[in-house]
């Protein structure tokens, strides 16, 4: 089963190189109140 982690995977229209993904890191760029900034 762990070998499947490194196999290509199709997710909708995306073809991923493997099954390991990271969550978006945009919250790190929000201001102290969690509001989006122009950078985002």
Whose CA is closest to 19, among 31, 9, 30, 28? 9
Structure tokens at 33: 């109140």
Predicted local confidence at residue 34, as pLDDT: 79
- Per run of 10 residues, the mean pLDDT along the chain (length 40 residues) is 84 92 73 79
Predicted local confidence at residue 27, as pLDDT: 65
Predicted local confidence at residue 22, as pLDDT: 80
Structure tokens at 4: 């499947």
Predicted local confidence at residue 14, as pLDDT: 92
């Amino acid at each position: 089963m762990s070998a499947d982690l490194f196999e290509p995977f199709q997710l909708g229209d995306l073809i991923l190189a493997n099954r390991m993904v990271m969550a978006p890191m945009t919250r790190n760029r929000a201001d102290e109140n969690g509001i989006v900034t122009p950078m985002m």
